[in-house]
Amino acid sequence: MATMSVTPVKSGALRAGSSKSVASRGTAAASAPSSDSAATPTISLNSRKSAVNCSTVPREREWPKGFIPPTAPIKPVRGSMGSENPANAIELTEEAISQLPEHERKRIRNTISARLSRARKEARVQALEEEYQVLSEKLEMTEQQYNEAMVRIRELEEQLRWSQ
């Protein structure tokens, strides 16, 4: 099985290095450096339904660790005597998928969509956690500045009372 590099597409869809990729039906933007095909792609935090709008967090993140990339092979449905043989995995090419029955094509599209959705959700959670950290640090710093200003105000008020 040939490895596929993932590059960004204008519409924000995933597209593998091969122009005949089924992964292009996804809605998350993913990209990887062309010099290193094993590098993890990135995923956009924004989708049609939701968006992360924070100036402190980038809109695109690295693909979450432990999540299957959308271009990974898809295992066929196992029967009662099925095996875990990875050689049976379906490559994500239009040619291979167009020869499958409609219900299999639908299952593959759904699998890719689910992978993207889970990865986007995890990336969104990570972005929100980072945003929480940044905002917590800002709040702590602001509270410290406020407390220092209040101490200074009390000192000045005390000086004012003694000077009158």
Domain assignment of residue 124, given as a range: 6-133
137 phi-psi bin (left φ>0, alpha ψ -120 to 50, beta other): alpha
164 located within any domain? no
Within 10 A of 57 (CB to CB), how many other CB atoms are there? 19
Torsion of CA 11, 12, 16, 18, to 10 degrees: 10
Residue with tokens 């995995």: 89
76 located within any domain? yes
Q: Specify the pLDDT at position 164.
A: 79
154 located within any domain? no
Enumerate the β-bridge partners of residue 62.
42
Phi, psi of 58 (to 5 degrees): -65, 150
32 located within any domain? yes
Predicted model pTM: 0.54
163 located within any domain? no
139 located within any domain? no
DSSP 88-134: GPBP-BHHHHHTS-HHHHHHHHHHHHHHHHHHHHHHHHHHHHHHHHH
Q: State the DSSP code for 24.
A: G
pLDDT per residue, tens digit, the chain (164 aa), is 343 333 333 333 343 333 334 444 444 444 443 444 456 577 776 666 666 566 666 677 777 787 877 777 777 766 544 455 555 666 667 777 788 888 888 988 898 889 888 988 898 898 899 999 999 999 999 999 999 999 999 999 999 999 87
Within 10 A of 160 (CB to CB), how many other CB atoms are there? 9
- What is the tally of structural domains in the chain? 1
How far is it, in rounded angstroms, from Cα 164 to Cα 93? Answer: 86
- Residue 118 CA to chain centroid, in angstroms? 9
160 located within any domain? no
Provide the residue count of the chain. 164
144 located within any domain? no
Q: Specify the pLDDT at position 61.
A: 77
